[in-house]
Amino acid sequence: MSNVREATPADCPQILELIHELAVYEKEPDAVRNTVQDLENHLFGADPKVFAHVAEDDAGTVIGVAVWYLTYSTWEGRHGIHLEDLYVRSARRGSGTGTALLRTLAQICVERGYKRLEWAVLDWNEPAIKFYDSIGASSMDGWTTRRLDGAELTALGTEGAAR
């Protein structure tokens, strides 16, 4: 069984290691630009906007991570949690670690009156989809995730700006 707790600054090297493992799993091994310093600044700085919980084994080794941030529903008038990343080391999958991490986030939602716990999953990731289905998560059919980044983000963000 795994113990889930709020991450601490000392966990950042292991969290980054898990982020790299996730990138390999998601077929983007060279995409991670994050650093231990970035994680420390963003998770534990003066005004954090992102949060993390870790799961550790009996020896205290971090075996899973949930990185999340708050959202806001204009319809509900309440906050929610967006789960940016959920990752469990491959050797520990099926042990209840992912469920324990999600249960912790669901408990935070319930305790704080948040109305939603949401996340995205790659459409090819059948094991994850089956796992999410098994805990009762529903698919947001009819919604498509959109992203603006790189040159397009810069172009839109600087369009019409004083030069």
Whole-angstrom distance, CA of residue 63 vs CA of residue 98 = 10
Token representation of residue 62: 């971090």
| Catalytic residue check, 25 | no
Whole-angstrom distance, CA of residue 17 vs CA of residue 15 = 5
Helix ranges (DSSP H) in 1-45: 12-25, 36-44
Buried b (16+ CB within 10 A) or exposed e, 25-35: eeeeeeeeeee
Of these residues, 25, 69, 114, 132, which one is catalytic?
132
Q: Please list the active-site residues.
A: 132
